[in-house]
Amino acid sequence: MTQLLLLSQTSLCQHDDMLGIEPLELRFHFEHNKQISCSVELTNETSNSTAFNILTPSEQYIAQPDKGIVLPGGKREVKITLQSQESATQVTNGDKFVVQSIKLKEGLADEEITDRMFNSKGSEVVDEVNLMVVYDPEKYREEEASKVSFVS
């Protein structure tokens, strides 16, 4: 079983068999009717290729790429996008992404990575790391304050 060490918002593996993930907390600064993005960096410090699968909490998010391979000693950036929202009340803190990863046999390409590979009923060990979503309330409060009008 894999044990995680959490150091300064980075996921590291004690047993040399999982991706490093940075950050573990996804911060979005709400903007009315605009898509908002942030990046997650996946780092593979092992000697094996590692496949990843990003599970999103709802359809209002997109992960690009949502599946792929991180080569030994390599890094991969994943862009997480929140679709445009009418108001900040449509989004909530506490949404959770799950990054699944497994060791790979050599010779597979990104397009060969499937959801079935991450089924825990298989013989491969599937590591899972949660990424929590946090919305910046300052931007939302500023937006709401600008809508308030005073009547004399």
CA–CA separation, 80 and 58 (whole Å): 12
User: Could you give the C-alpha distances from 35 to 24, 29, 31, 133, in angstroms and in order?
Assistant: 21, 10, 8, 15
Positions of E strands within 10-60: 10-13, 20-22, 25-28, 36-43, 50-55
43-58 average pLDDT score: 93
The residue extents of the domains of the chain are 20-142
Range of weakest confidence among 17-31, 44-58, 81-95: 81-95
Given this structure, which CATH class describes domain 20-142?
A: mainly beta
Taking only the tens place, the pLDDT of each residue in 118-129 is: 886 666 788 999
105-116 average pLDDT score: 85
CA–CA separation, 112 and 51 (whole Å): 10
pLDDT at 8 over 60: no
2-14 average pLDDT score: 36
CA–CA separation, 23 and 6 (whole Å): 11
**Residues in CB range of 75: below 8 A, 6 or more apart:** 41, 42, 43, 44
Taking only the tens place, the pLDDT of each residue in 68-85 is: 999 999 999 999 998 887
Quote the pLDDT of residue 16.
47
pTM of the model: 0.76
